[in-house]
Amino acid sequence: MKVVSFSIFKGGTGKTTSSVNTAAALVNKGKKVLLVDLDQQASATRYLNLEPDQSPNLYDVFTGTKSASLAIRHTKYNIDVLASHVLLAAIEEALEPGDEFKLLEILNPLKPSYDFILIDSPPGKAMLAFNGLAAADLIVIPASAERMAVDGVADLINHVQRIMWNKYALTHQELRILFTMYRATTSHSPAIVANARKIWRENILTVKIPHSTIFSRSYDEKTPVSILDPKHQGAIAYDVFADWLIQYENT
Amino acid sequence: MKAFLNASEVAKLLNIDRATVSRWIKKGIIKGAFRPENEQQWRIPLSSYEELIKYHESR
């Protein structure tokens, strides 16, 4: 059982796309998966065709009106979801320094029921994002293969290693970088990855998610790529990543 | 985790002025808010904020 957090403070590099499509790929392989949508924009919730203004959701869980196990919503893709809600913004305001482990406390009783819990973290340096990091066994940093995102990776790694690991006993945590929006036919994307590999070496996953409009279509049709077009390069990439996660879980 | 938000936090969340929040408290639009003795700040329960957001969105 592993908790995997998709986190980077920068926005728009593929946190939601990666968490939803990884969840779908893991379910295809017979794994029990819970997806936690920590982002108040509720993109992952919408992606899986759930209404973001309905109960139960994570707001109810954080305020204690519902227990986590009763707040889980089931989707037709067999992915279980702790859904987001606009009111999560109020939780962000209400969380105080020292509340970094709220989410971990919420997830702990659910762990025996799942093989993987995937967290779609919000962008930005704020309390909910820190909760997403603190709850994780494995932090996957989705980075688009461009300079700006690589700076974002450095920022997140610094934060985790220098602040979180210093402050809390989180030394079991591991970090991996997943390159997204990769354009193999350009010289830019491979150069960015080659440079990043000099710094972070084996922490960079060999599988790269290709740049493709299939992901926009997938979100638009509220269907993960593995169901929309299982033979598509993008679907295969997440399938390979899911295999890596399963192998990682077993070691 | 805080059980209450203050006026400026609510104002920030709704993208309105803090004075509007105070006015809404006095008008009774925001329910359950109170100000403890010798304190400057309003305490607005999270549950009141829930109702308030419905009111704000319906306007």
Distance from CA of B35 to the nearest CA of A (A): 18
Residue among B9, B50, B53 minimizing CB distance to A93: B9
Question: How confident is the model at residue A173, as a pLDDT?
Answer: 95
Yes or no: say if B45 and B3 are a contact pair by the CB < 8 Å rule. yes
Mean pLDDT of the B52-59 span: 78
Question: Chain B contacts of A93, Cβ < 8 Å?
Answer: 2, 5, 9, 12-13
Answer whether residue A157 shows pLDDT above 90. Answer: yes
Question: Chain B contacts of A91, Cβ < 8 Å?
Answer: 1
Question: How confident is the model at residue A147, as a pLDDT?
Answer: 83
Mean pLDDT of the A154-172 span: 92
Q: Which residue type sits at A244?
A: W
Average pLDDT, chain A: 95
Question: How confident is the model at residue B50, as a pLDDT?
Answer: 85
Q: How many CB atoms lie within 10 A of CB B29?
A: 16
Answer whether residue B57 shows pLDDT above 80. Answer: no
pLDDT in tens, A215-244: 999 999 999 999 999 999 999 999 999 999
- Walk me through the domains of chain B, giving residue ranges and CATH numbers: 4-58 (1.10.1660)
Contacts of A207 (CB under 8 A, 6+ apart): A178, A237, A240, A241, A244
- Which option is the CATH number for A2-250: 3.40.50.1000, 3.40.50.150, 3.40.50.300, 3.40.50.360? 3.40.50.300
CA distances from A62 to A159, A220, B1, B27 (A): 25, 29, 9, 29
**ipTM given for this complex:** 0.80
pLDDT in tens, A31-73: 999 999 999 999 999 999 999 888 899 999 999 999 999 999 9
Q: How many CB atoms lie within 10 A of CB A101?
A: 15
Yes or no: say if A135 and A52 are a contact pair by the CB < 8 Å rule. no
Q: Do A94 and B1 touch (CB under 8 A)?
A: yes
Of residues A87, A108, A58, A65, the one with CA closest to residue B51: A87
Distance from CA of A8 to the nearest CA of B (A): 23
> Among A76-80, A147-151, A244-248, whose mean pLDDT is lowest?
A147-151
Yes or no: say if A182 and A149 are a contact pair by the CB < 8 Å rule. no
Percent of chain A past pLDDT 90, that is, above it, reads 94
Yes or no: say if B17 and B35 are a contact pair by the CB < 8 Å rule. no
Q: Do A62 and B53 touch (CB under 8 A)?
A: no
Best to test chain A binding among B46, B48, B49 (most A CBs inside 10 Å)? B46
Question: Chain A contacts of B5, Cβ < 8 Å?
Answer: 90, 93-94
Question: Chain B contacts of A95, Cβ < 8 Å?
Answer: 1-2
